[in-house]
Amino acid sequence: ATGASGATGASGATGASRAIAASGAADGPEGDDKGDVVALPGMTMETAESSSVNVPLAALGAKEITALDKADTTADAVADSGLTAAARPYIGPRPRIVTRLGWGADESLREPGFVYTSTVKAAFVHHTASGNNYACKDAPAVLRSLYRYHVVSSGWRDLGYNFAVDKCGTVYEGRAGGVAKAVLGAHTMGFNTDSMGVAVIGTYTSTKPPAAAVKAVAQLTAWKLGLFNRDPRAKTTLKSGGGNRFKKGTSVQLNVISGHRDGFATECPGKLLYAQLPPTRTSSAKLQGRP
C-alpha cells in the first residue's frame, strides 16, 4: 500500500489513498540538501534540481538511466567506493530506470531539496493497491496520480516510494534525490530510516504479480542493495521510529528484502506478491554474484 502508513489493499488508487489519510502518518523529520543547480534552456529549476542528482549516471535532462552490464556496474562501484578490484563488491547490473522527467513528474508539487538517510540496510516491497488493468504505457499516468495524492492531498514532501515497478517490469525513479543515493522515503512507517521502498503498481492480494515485475524487483534490489554492500538473503536490524506493530525505539530484526507488512500491520504488499519475496531474495543475491 502507498506511503509511510499501513494502508491496506484496496481496489483503486482512491481506496489506498483514503487508507493513508485515515492513518495520520507523516513523513517524519524533514530537511533540505541543496547544491548549485544549473538548468538547461526551457527547464525549470525544480526539474534541473531533481535531474542533476542523477549525474553522472545520466546526462542532465535525461528521461531514462540506461541499463549497465555487470562488469561496468562493478567497475563503477569499485571506483566510487575506493576499493581495489580484488575487493570488488557484490552488486547486480544496473537496470534501466525511467527518471522523474521520463514519467512526467511535476517538480513544482514537491518540496525543494532532498532528505537523505545514512545508508540503505533494507528494501521494503509494496503494492500500490491500485487497479491491475492498466496498460503499461499508462503506468506513468498512474504514478503521476499517486505522486499528486501523496504531495497535494496527504501533505508529504514528495512521492513516498523510492522506486516503482510496473507489470511489464519497467523501473521508475520515485522520490527525488538520486537513484543511487540513500534517499529518505515515506513508505514503511517507523522504518523509513536506512531503508528504501519499492512499489509494484497494482493490487496483489488475490492476483498473482506478473513475472516481469517480480524479476524487476530482484534486479533493482540486486543493484541498489549492492551499492551499500547488502546481501539480499541476509537479516538486518532496524530501530523502529514508532508504528502500529513495533514501539518507538524497538530494535527489530528484518529480512534485507522485506514486505511492508513486516514492519507495519498491513496487508501490503498483498498475499501473492509477499509470497514471491523468498525467491526474489535468492534471485537478487544471484544477480549480485554471491555464492
pLDDT of residue 78: 84
What is the span of the domain harbouring residue 254? Answer: 13-24+49-288
31: in domain:
no
Helices (H), 82-167: 100-103, 139-148
Write the CB contacts of 107 (distance below 8 Å, at least 6 apart in sequence).
44, 46, 47, 49, 50, 100, 176
Domain total in the chain: 1
pLDDT of residue 1: 59
Q: What is the CATH number of the domain that holds 100?
A: 3.40.80.10
41: in domain:
no
7: in domain:
no
Higher-confidence position of 27 and 216? 216
- pLDDT mean over 67-94: 83
128, 200 contact by CB (below 8 A): yes
68: in domain:
yes
209, 273 contact by CB (below 8 A): yes
Site of grid cell 492498466: 134
- pLDDT mean over 218-247: 97
- pLDDT mean over 115-137: 98
Mean pLDDT of the residues in the chain: 88
pLDDT of residue 106: 97
Each residue of 75-105: b (16+ CB within 10 Å) or e?
Answer: ebbbeeeeeeeeeebbbbbbbebbbbbbbeb
Site of grid cell 524497538: 250
- pLDDT mean over 186-215: 98
pLDDT of residue 85: 58
254: in domain:
yes
C-alpha 2/C-alpha 6 separation (Å) is: 8
32: in domain:
no
Element (H, E) at 235: strand 235-239
Task: Flag whether pLDDT at 20 surpasses 90.
Answer: no
pLDDT of residue 87: 63
2: in domain:
no
271: in domain:
yes
C-alpha 164/C-alpha 128 separation (Å) is: 9
Task: Flag whether pLDDT at 25 surpasses 60.
Answer: no
Task: Flag whether pLDDT at 35 surpasses 60.
Answer: no
